[in-house]
Amino acid sequence: MGKVIVVTSGKGGVGKTTAVANIGTALAFMEQKVALVDADIGLRNLDVVLGLENRIVYDIVDVVEGRAKLKQALIRDKRFPTLYLLPAAQTRDKEAVSPEDMVRLCNNLKEEFDFIIIDSPAGIERGFKNAVTPADMAIIVTTPEVSAVRDADRVIGLLEAMEKSDSRLIVNRVRSKLVDRGDMLSVEDVLEILSIDLIGVIPEDEHIIISTNRGEPIVSNNSTPAGKSFMDIARRILGEDVPMNMYTEKEDLFTRLKRFLKWR
Amino acid sequence: MEDGRETDMSIVVKGERSYITVKIEGEVDSESIEGLKTQIEKNKNFFKEGKILIKYVGDGIPCKVLNEIITVLSSIESVNIIGVLTESIPQNEGNAIVIKKTLRSGQSVSYNGDVVIVGDVNAGAEVIAEGDIIVLGSLRGLAHAGAMGNRSAIIYALDLSPVQIRIADVIARAPDYTKDRSVPEIARVKDDSIIIETFHHGGIR
């Protein structure tokens, strides 16, 4: 039986879709059978980030309304043979699917897949309820900004009220230099407010922008700081005990020397 | 038997078909209870052998006041108090609710007594109490103590850093600078404004 993980945040633009694409790809890399479900009906993005947009024939609403079988709608990623996507519908809205539909859908997917990762829309309304209801585990994505943390807190409260107890946190887009200067909330500050378990910290990394635009998940390039961090998260999901690492861009000899001298 | 008569601003006695209602509204002081007593004295026959229903409109009548009214009414000859109707639980002194979790953004607690929170009150959460608010954790959200006008209410927190605090009708906002250390603190009203003091061992008041 597979495990259903929802990736949610409350606030938009903090990196939910990027996290889904990369954690999913990383898990597929580790030979897990993964289905990514885009629950952001009407504003679908996950297919673009994965570079699978041109292969969509049927979507989640077609499956729920019985026009297509689940197997027909699932798109297999050619680069990672155990990675599948169930895309959202672009021409419908959140009301087209109910939380019960999502539970039924995920129960079917659970029989086939090791992991079902749901990309939740921003907000706390119907779309959020759809995405969260079938989940066994929630990953909350936040950035080190007061507004994002506030929304994450709200979402954690709602999950608690729904008796979803397994919630983990990703702090995304951390800029160490700003944190060191005291100009950005640190991961510790965020944890103090949200008081839930951390599953990963992702540094701000411009490679993400490039990878998103190209439709190639960043984990396929394992030398980038963000790629490494997402790989670690996937390993933690699989139960490995991976120490929290703040990866930085590889420095050339000259900058390293300069830093060394400064430090002395 | 429809002879409603008003004795006082806050206590109204009214005959219904088979019983008499004593309707109490708003704040009850000793004067209005005295008023009730004299009214009973004057109209002994009206009350005699009557069935009385006590009705309280508003929330959180102090138990002490309710007890006094019941005592006064039960002193009437062969009277039968058939019930007490209140909109909310009578407020006892030391009446408190204990919440053993962190209040997150969007969550709210209101209570007609004291509120004790074992956990944090995060920004975006609110606590409204008719009595005191005690937070055994960080208070970052909104706290309103003495919400029904009790200016002697206090707000206590292990880390008092709310965006805004209210005690009765007095409002204070957080200072623009951030505190560099967190020590237990108490907020209370003094001369029409809220003051915040470091908590010293030896009791809240």
pLDDT at B4: 45
Domain boundary among B86, B107, B135: B86
Mutation pick from A151, A153, A185, A196 vs chain B, by most beta carbons of B within 10 Å, is A153
Mean pLDDT of A160-182: 94
Q: Are residues B74 and B137 in the same domain?
A: no
Residues 6+ apart with CB under 8 A from A20: A7, A36, A46, A117, A118, A119
Asked if A154 lies within 8 A of B123 by C-beta distance, the reply is no
pLDDT at B8: 43
Q: Are residues B104 and B80 in the same domain?
A: no
For the cut 50, the answer to whether the pLDDT of residue B101 exceeds it is yes
CB contacts of B107 in chain A (<8 Å) are 157
For the cut 60, the answer to whether the pLDDT of residue B12 exceeds it is yes
Q: Which domain holds residue B106?
A: 96-198
pLDDT at B183: 83
Structural domains of chain A in order of their starting residue, each with its CATH number:
3-263 (3.40.50.300)
Q: What is the pLDDT of residues B129-159, one digit of tens each?
A: 999 999 999 999 999 999 999 999 999 999 9
pLDDT at A73: 96
Q: Are residues B106 and B69 in the same domain?
A: no
CB contacts of A160 in chain B (<8 Å) are 101, 104
Asked if A160 lies within 8 A of B104 by C-beta distance, the reply is yes
Determine which of A57-71, A108-122, B162-176 has the lowest per-residue pLDDT on average: B162-176
Q: Are residues B100 and B193 in the same domain?
A: yes
More confident: A70 or B96? A70
How many angstroms separate the CA atoms of A4 and A114, rounded?
9
How many angstroms separate the CA atoms of A113 and A106, rounded?
10
Asked whether the ipTM of the predicted complex exceeds the cut of 0.90, the reply is: no
First to last CA, chain B: 52
Structure tokens that stand for A118 in this block: 């749901």
How many angstroms separate the CA atoms of A8 and A233, rounded?
15
For the cut 60, the answer to whether the pLDDT of residue A109 exceeds it is yes
Domain boundary among B64, B86, B108: B86
HEC profile for B106-128?
CCEEEECCEEEECCCECCCCEEE
Mean pLDDT of B59-73: 73
A125 touches chain B (CB under 8 A): no
Rama region for A227: left / alpha / beta (φ>0; ψ in -120 to 50; rest): alpha
Is the Cβ–Cβ distance between B59 and B69 less than 8 Å? no
CB atoms within 10 A of CB A71: 11
Mean pLDDT of B61-82: 74
Residue B40 falls inside a structural domain:
yes
pLDDT at B163: 85
CB contacts of A191 in chain B (<8 Å) are none
Q: What is the pLDDT of residues A67-103, one digit of tens each?
A: 999 999 999 998 999 999 999 999 999 999 999 999 9
How many angstroms separate the CA atoms of A155 and A124, rounded?
7
Determine which of A75-89, A157-171, A216-230 has the lowest per-residue pLDDT on average: A216-230
Q: B96 forms bridges with which residues in the sheet?
A: B114
Mean pLDDT of B47-76: 75
Domain boundary among B32, B63, B86: B86
Residue B205 falls inside a structural domain:
no
If contacts are CB pairs under 8 Å, which of residues 131-160 in chain B contact chain A?
138, 140
Q: What is the DSSP string of chain B?
A: ----EE-SSSEEEEE-SSSEEEEEES---HHHHHHHHHHHHHTHHHHTT-EEEEEEESS--BHHHHHHHHHHHHTSTT-EEEEEEESSPPBPTT-EEEE-SPBPTT-EEEESSEEEESS-B-TT-EEEESS-EEEEEEE-SEEEESTTT-TT--EEEEEE--SEEEETTEEEE--SSPPSS---EEEEEETTEEEEEE--SS---
Of B104, B120, B140, the CB nearest to A156: B104
- How confident is residue B23, by pLDDT bands cut at 50, 70 and 90? confident
Q: Are residues B65 and B100 in the same domain?
A: no
Mutation pick from A145, A192, A193 vs chain B, by most beta carbons of B within 10 Å, is A193
CATH code for the domain in which residue B60 is found: 3.30.750
CB contacts of B105 in chain A (<8 Å) are 150-151, 153-154, 157
Residue B204 falls inside a structural domain:
no
Please state the domain count of chain B: 2
- How confident is residue B26, by pLDDT bands cut at 50, 70 and 90? confident
Of B101, B104, B138, the CB nearest to A153: B104
- The whole-angstrom distance between residue A140's C-alpha and the CA centroid of its chain comes to 8
Determine which of A34-38, A127-131, A173-177, B50-54 has the lowest per-residue pLDDT on average: B50-54
Of all residues in chain B, the percent with pLDDT exceeding 70 is: 83
Residue B203 falls inside a structural domain:
no
Q: Are residues B192 and B100 in the same domain?
A: yes
HEC profile for chain A?
CCEEEEEECCCCCCCHHHHHHHHHHHHHHCCCCEEEEECCCCCCCHHHHHCCHHHCCCCHHHHHCCCCCHHHHCEECCCCCCEEEECCCCCCCHHHCCHHHHHHHHHHHHHHCCEEEEECCCCCCHHHHHHHCCCCEEEEEECCCHHHHHHHHHHHHHHHHCCCCCEEEEEEEECHHHHHHCCCCCHHHHHHHHCCEEEEEEECCCHHHHHHHHCCCHHHCCCCHHHHHHHHHHHHHCCCCCCCCCCCCCCCHHHHHHHHHHHC
Residue B91 falls inside a structural domain:
no
CB atoms within 10 A of CB B119: 16
CB atoms within 10 A of CB A181: 9
Residue B174 falls inside a structural domain:
yes
First to last CA, chain A: 55
Mean pLDDT score of chain A: 93
How many angstroms separate the CA atoms of A171 and A156, rounded?
14
Q: Are residues B111 and B64 in the same domain?
A: no
A156 touches chain B (CB under 8 A): yes
Is the Cβ–Cβ distance between A138 and A19 less than 8 Å? no
Mean pLDDT score of chain B: 81
Place of tokens 């990675």: A83
Q: Are residues B53 and B101 in the same domain?
A: no
> What does each C-alpha distance from A85 to A25, A111, B84 come to in angstroms?
11, 16, 63
Q: Are residues B182 and B123 in the same domain?
A: yes
Q: What is the pLDDT of residues B77-88, one digit of tens each?
A: 777 777 777 766
Give the minimum alpha-carbon distance from B102 to chain A in angstroms, rounded to a whole number.
Answer: 9
Asked if B104 lies within 8 A of A151 by C-beta distance, the reply is no
pLDDT at B193: 93
CATH code for the domain in which residue B185 is found: 2.160.20.70
Q: Are residues B69 and B27 in the same domain?
A: yes
Q: Are residues B102 and B180 in the same domain?
A: yes
How many angstroms separate the CA atoms of B21 and B23, rounded?
6
A162 touches chain B (CB under 8 A): no
Is the Cβ–Cβ distance between A25 and A44 less than 8 Å? no
Q: Are residues B100 and B183 in the same domain?
A: yes
